[in-house]
Chain A
Amino acid sequence: MHDTDIARADPAELIACPQCDALYRARMPEHGARAVCARCHTVLIAPKRRAGMTIIMLAAAVLVLVLGAVWFPFLKISRQGFVNEATLLDAAMSFTGGPLLVLSLAVTALIVLVPLARAVLTIYVLAPVVFDRPPPPGALRLFALSEALRPWSMAEIFALGCAVALVKVADLAQLSFGPAFWMFAALVFLTVIQDRWMCRWSVWHALEQGQAARRERAPA
């Protein structure tokens, strides 16, 4: 696993574990196989066949579902003749007045804007690469942004929140799921699958090589 002349190798051929700094030679494993850090077991490289296309399709589906989920009601409530339906935007913007407005904006960002932004960035960055074209301008920085946003994309937590809310007011009124809830449930599923298909090292590597090729082709 560990050869002595690794320190003399070209840094471009190496990979360091982001969690424990262990140094390896970056070798593309077989499709479906994974290169795992021997020390801390962080997955370093895990390419999958036709992953690019799969990820783009999933991102497009996420985009459609988020936009749909914003407009359709996700929960419906009725009690003593009063009926109310809530859409995602209603929930996101429910903290009105004073300092709670900040919370409204934060919630909107976490459950709508961040997932949306990540889907758009993924398509923008990866689509040209999948179709064997050079990556678009700023691809590396935008992919970095998409990665930085990852922990702040909380659609799946919101979906579980809907279920908890349902139980919480069960004694207060009758509740039922609207179409947007099911869209959200599907969204959660898609986000998880997309994450499993994404081999970050392969993306960084492809973008870097594409960028280099673009620079070579450009007139000096």
Chain B
Amino acid sequence: MSGAPHLLTAREAGLVSCTRCTRVWPAGTSACGRCGKPLVSRDGYSLSRVWAWWIAGLMCYFPANLYPMLRTQVLFTVSEDTIVGGAIELAKYGSYFVALIILIASVAIPIGKFVAIAWLAVSVRRGSRARPQSRHRLYEIVEYIGRWSMIDVFVVAILTALVQLNIAASIKPGPAALAFALSVIFTMLSAQAFDPRLIWDRDTSDDGTDRA
């Protein structure tokens, strides 16, 4: 069997489905009678919301990388580390594995996520030669993996709470912690705003329009 079979969709059957509880209703129903979610056959505003959160996330991502994440004070020397700087520092002391985790969670995943969401949003508008299966797989990965970027914010929180040893050593959070947390939250909202059903609609001429 090659490719996915063509199946009747709820929209083609003159029905509208609830994406939260999978219940199906006659077209024109305004809210799901089971879970209360407002119903739209295809969310026409989905892409606008995706782009709005995407831009907000990207705007927070720049200060998150430019400003220091941590201020470490050991005896009388104070050092400030950005995300990438901190990872390089770790690698210098031989903790390659942890440096790699930080780089993947804080650099590779966020950037990959921005690119992936943008590509998905553009591809449902313009059409794409990539199979819907692959695009859907990408969407699932983005949805699943996005939360893990929060790890760096948690590490800063843990270190700040823990490393308060008077003058021997202390750690304070930098402004990048807030910017980074916001960036992760905004990109999660961007991915959540995306309506994956748009990927599967063959007829690209009426995507985004709402027949319900």
Contacts and interface: CB of A to CB of B under 8 A. Distances in A.
Interface stretch (A46-54, A59-67, A99-107): A99-107
A213 interface: no
Nearest to B200: A20
B2 to A, nearest CB: 13
Contact of A16 (B10, B14, B26, B35): B10
Contact of B34 (A158, A167, A204): A204
A7 interface: yes
A17 interface: yes
B158 A20 contact: no
Interface in B116-167: 132-133, 136, 143, 147-148, 150-151, 153-155, 157-166
A1 B4 CA distance: 13
B165 A84 contact: yes
Contacts of A1: 5, 7
The size bracket of the interface on A is 35 or more
Interface string B1-27: 000110111110111011111111110
A90 interface: yes
Interface in A10-35: 11-12, 14-23
Interface stretch (B51-59, B95-103, B107-115): B95-103
Given A16-B17, A95-B160, A23 B36 contact: no
B4 A107 contact: no
The B interface is mostly helix, strand or loop, or mixed, namely mixed
Contacts of A161: 151, 154-155, 157-158
A171 interface: yes
Given A16-B22, A164-B102, A143 B10 contact: no
A162 B154 CA distance: 8
A102 B178 contact: yes
Given A86-B161, A111-B154, A144-B37, A11 B26 contact: yes
B5 A38 contact: yes
A178 B97 CA distance: 23
Contacts of A217: none
Nearest to B143: A151
Given A1-B5, A20-B136, A7 B173 contact: no
Interface of B: 4-5, 7-11, 13-15, 17-26, 34-37, 72, 74, 86, 90, 93, 95, 98, 101-102, 132-133, 136, 143, 147-148, 150-151, 153-155, 157-166, 168-169, 171, 173, 177-178, 181, 185, 188, 192, 196-197, 199-200
Given A22-B9, A173-B169, 9 more contacts: A7-B13, A14-B10, A19-B197, A23-B7, A40-B4, A147-B20, A148-B20, A154-B147, A161-B158
9 contacts: A11-B15, A16-B18, A20-B200, A40-B200, A86-B162, A95-B177, A144-B36, A148-B20, A154-B147
Interface of A: 1-2, 6-7, 11-12, 14-23, 38-40, 44, 75, 77, 79-84, 86-87, 90-95, 99-100, 102-103, 106-107, 110-111, 140-141, 143-144, 147-148, 151, 154, 157-158, 160-162, 164-165, 167-173, 175, 200-201, 204, 207-208
